[in-house]
Amino acid sequence: MATVLLTDDEMLIGETLSIVLGRAGHQVRTALNGLEAIRILDKDPIDVLITDVVMPDMDGLELIREVRKTDLKIGIIAISGGPRGKSFDFLPSAAKLGADRVLNKPIPHPDLLQAIEELSGESARTKKYGSADR
C-alpha cells in the first residue's frame, strides 16, 4: 500500500480521512499546512501527497508548486471545498500547477482511494510533468 501525506488545516477532515486511509491499508502522515508538509517531504519518502488548497502559512497551490520543482514522481491530489464565503474554484489552478487529481469536498471515499491506488502505481515510474489525466 501507499505512504500518503495528508495536508489539511481542518483537523476533523484530517482525522476522518486518516482513519479511512489507514483502514484501507495505507500508511498516513499528516501535516496542518504546507510548511509542515515540506518538512516531512524533506525527511520521508512519500508516494502520494493529498493537499487541501486553502490553508494558512503555505497554501496548497504553493505546496504543489514547491513539490513539483523537485519531485515529478510523487502523486498529488488537491482537495478543496473552496474558500469560505467565496465562489472561486481553486482546483483548476491546482491541476495547472501539477496536481494529478483534484477532488471537491466533501470527498467521496471510494474516489479518493481509487486516486491513491492509481497514483501510487504511477509513482513507481517516471512521469512527465503535466502528463497525468485530470
pLDDT tens profile 62-101? 999 999 999 989 999 999 986 554 546 789 999 999 999 9
pTM of whole model > 0.95?
no
Indicate if the pLDDT at residue 38 is higher than 60. Answer: yes
Question: Within the chain, where are the H helices?
Answer: 11-23, 34-43, 60-70, 91-97, 109-122
Range scoring the smallest mean pLDDT among 7-16, 78-87, 103-112: 78-87
State CA 21 to chain mean position distance: 13
**pLDDT value for 131:** 39
Choose among 120, 122, 68: nearest CA to 99: 68
DSSP designation for 130: T
69's grid cell: 520543482
Q: Which domains does the chain have, with CATH numbers?
A: 3-122 (3.40.50.2300)
